[in-house]
Amino acid sequence: MADPPPPKDKLEVALFLAATQGYDTIVTLLLGTPGVKLESRDELGRTPFFWAAAHGHDRVLQLLLGTGAVDPNVRETARGGLSALSAAVEGGHAAVVTRLLGVGVDVQPADGQGKTALMYAVGSVEDPGVRLAIVTALVGAKAEVNVRDEAGRVPLGVAVEKGDAAVVGVLVKAGADVNVRDGKEENGVRPLEVAVEKGDVDVVEVLVDAQADPNTGLDCEEEGEEGEGEAAAAAAAAAARAPPLSVAVRKGNETIVQLLLKAGANPDAKDLAGRAPLSVAVEKGNETIAQLLLKAGANPDVRDGDGRPPLLWAVEKGSEEVVRLLIASRRINLDLVDDAGRSALWWAARAGLLSIVRLLVRHGADLEIRPTEPEDAQQQQQQPCGTALYQAGRRGHVEVVKYLLKKKADINAPARGLSLLMSLVLYDRGKRGRKMIELLLDAGADANTKDTSGRTILDIAAADGDVELAKIALDSGVGLEATAEDGMTALHRAVINRHDHIMDMLLDYGADPEAQDGNGDTPLHFAAASGRRNLFELFLEKSPDINVTNFSGESPLHKAVQRGRRKMVEYMVRNDADLEVRDDYKRTPLLKAVGAENHVMRLLVNKGAHVHAKDMFGQTALHMAAEAGLADDVYFLLGHGLSASLPDDRGRTPKELAAKNGRKNVVALFKRMELIAPKHEEDEDSSEG
């Protein structure tokens, strides 16, 4: 505390300075001087007695008290009414405090901040021994121990914050409320909560011995149950904090956990995240604390905010010892799942934790539990699924898979419509995946399993050109003629994708060369469409009907001309392909050839195709060419006797179709040639089609 502002009178100045500096000889001299004013005040309203107390000058204080003319309860006037006792306490002057208490000074007055001498003793005295002595003295003088300052602080709260177990003990013994909220009532913190947060074992022990409530804080499941409206919600949120036991468990303080449990802490009280103490202990792998909680009656199946029980945390952390501990409680449900439907065995298998998998299965865990699959397709892709076996297999945990199969796990159990085998074929054909595929097939997995489009593993191998997988599939007995939703067999896919080696393999294994897909197309149709003569010859040899038709009545020649395969068309014509075969719309290969590349239409005409052929709508090749704006084809067809004025079944002529569709080049061609067909030409082929 600084020196006092000097008063005007010289005697007063001398007395203030002597009292402040502790010059007891000078004080004695001044006290014998007539006219000295003992109760004069400086600019802060402090007397010489106040300054002597504040600076701890016990001898000066004794001299002044001996005059009987000073007020020991003097308080400053300028800054909130600090008392001489509080000033002495703040300075840590135990002897002065004792003297003041000895003359019966009032211990209760508070300054402008609401702080009493006891609050100053607890909060301002740094030396622990001095602090204890002063607090003990004040308490002995009946200082109020539960008084609050303007900030809502109480002496016990400050003592706990400082970690002074001895002072806490004195205050508690004097009647301090051990469950008081320190701070403003709406958001104050209880002493035990602070001590636990600080990990102060000694203070916690003092508080629980004094019957502090170990279940303070707000269990998250109870939050917001009382009151309505925003005010109640705000109050509940401000008051909500984790129970002391949860804090101690999270910090791993075994001694405090023991103290709290012994004091009656609820072992299942949840923190604000919905986590019970056992769940937290297990997550942190603290076997000792988990054991303490279980011994105290903690529910081993208590769920956290995500519905996850402790066992799932133990598995996720790979803590076999904690898993054993939980199982040993004999109160645990091994098949309890989290909110997504995932069990402990599911997590263990997914992580490849063979020893934990064995442990769970030996104690009866259900092998077939699987997460609930969301209806939304996007959510399905984001959420893991399938059984424990499925998860282990997808992650390449070979030993876990072998063990689960030995225990009769369902090898064909699907996830998102796919078996484990199919899932690996689709998404994991690397070295690890192939090893797993062979393991599953050797163990009896359904080799004819299908994906969501109905394809078998042989279909996929044929489409992708995966010779090794195709060989594995064939040796496993996959059906050669199995069809997917599109009706295709593996042979169709090999032909379409030009995987000749697989195609030869399939034929060697007995695949049907005349198999029809969902449209009725045979491999011969696809070979014709591809333009690959050697392939066509191969299938023509195995299925000699060159005019075989699909479900739309199309022959291989239709396919070849439509794609402009000129050399293929030439070969087929030489081998007696029917030029006049009609599809379901009565279209001949010539009609299909309109607009095709490589002038295959002209080739067909030159090979004898009937140029006046009509489809089921009465349209000739000229109608189609004119409507499409194919001027060269129009010119060619006109040159072969087709009429621009011949109407189709709806009365539309080639000339009208060209005009209607804006084919100006064709319209101009018609005009230049001035082709107005005679009536007898129009009637000449009226019966065609």
Residues 164 and 156: beta-carbon distance below 8 Å: no
Helical (H) or strand (E) element with 537: helix 533-542
User: For residue 379, what pLDDT is reported?
Assistant: 58
CATH topology for the 613-689 domain: 1.25.40
User: For residue 330, what pLDDT is reported?
Assistant: 87
User: For residue 378, what pLDDT is reported?
Assistant: 59
Q: How far, rounded to the nearest angstrom, does the alpha carbon of residue 383 sit from its chain's CA centroid?
A: 9
Residues 645 and 679: beta-carbon distance below 8 Å: no
Cα dist. 183→150, 157, 179, 180, 231 in Å?
A: 9, 8, 12, 9, 19
Q: Which amino acid makes up residue 525?
A: H
Q: Which residues contact 178 (CB under 8 A, 6 or more apart)?
A: 156, 172, 191, 192, 207, 210, 211, 212, 213
CATH topology for the 214-220+236-333 domain: 1.25.40
Cα dist. 155→127, 142, 177, 608 in Å?
A: 16, 14, 10, 115
Q: Can you tell me the distance from the alpha carbon of 304 to that of 17, in angstroms, rounded to the nearest whole number?
A: 68
**What confidence category does residue 10 fall into, taking pLDDT thresholds of 50, 70 and 90?**
confident
Q: Which amino acid makes up residue 393?
A: G
Q: Can you tell me the distance from the alpha carbon of 372 to that of 384, in angstroms, rounded to the nearest whole number?
A: 9
pLDDT tens digits, residue range 285-344?
A: 999 999 999 999 999 999 998 889 999 999 999 999 999 999 999 889 999 999 889 999
Question: DSSP states of 364-413 as a string?
Answer: T--TT--PPPPSSHHHHHHS--S-HHHHHHHTT-HHHHHHHHHTT--TT-
Question: DSSP states of 470-509 as a string?
Answer: HHHHHHTT--TT---TT---HHHHHHHTT-HHHHHHHHHT
Q: Kindly list the domain boundaries of the chain, sorted by start residue.
A: 1-144, 214-220+236-333, 335-446, 513-610, 613-689
pTM over 0.95: no
pLDDT tens digits, residue range 524-552?
A: 999 999 999 999 999 999 988 999 999 99
Q: Can you tell me the distance from the alpha carbon of 644 to that of 5, in angstroms, rounded to the nearest whole number?
A: 124
Buried b (16+ CB within 10 A) or exposed e, 131-155: bbbbbbbbbebebbbebbbeebbbb
The fourth-level CATH superfamily of domain 513-610 is Ankyrin repeat-containing domain (1.25.40.20)
pLDDT at 683 over 50: no
Helical (H) or strand (E) element with 180: none
Mean pLDDT of 203-225: 76
Buried b (16+ CB within 10 A) or exposed e, 646-662: bebeeebbbbbbbeeee
Cα-Cα end-to-end distance for the chain: 121
Place of tokens 């602070």: 194
Q: Which residues contact 507 (CB under 8 A, 6 or more apart)?
A: 491, 513, 542
**Nearest C-alpha neighbor of 466 from the set 436, 493, 439, 432:** 493
Phi first, then psi: what are they for 10, rounded to 5°?
-65, -40
pLDDT tens digits, residue range 414-468?
A: 999 999 999 999 999 999 999 999 999 999 999 999 999 999 999 999 999 999 9
Percent of the chain past pLDDT 70, that is, above it, reads 91
User: For residue 1, what pLDDT is reported?
Assistant: 61
Mean pLDDT of 366-382: 74
CATH topology for the 335-446 domain: 1.25.40
In this structure, CATH architecture of domain 1-144: Alpha Horseshoe (1.25)
Decide whether 335-446 matches 613-689 in CATH topology. yes
**Nearest C-alpha neighbor of 283 from the set 363, 274, 367, 342:** 274
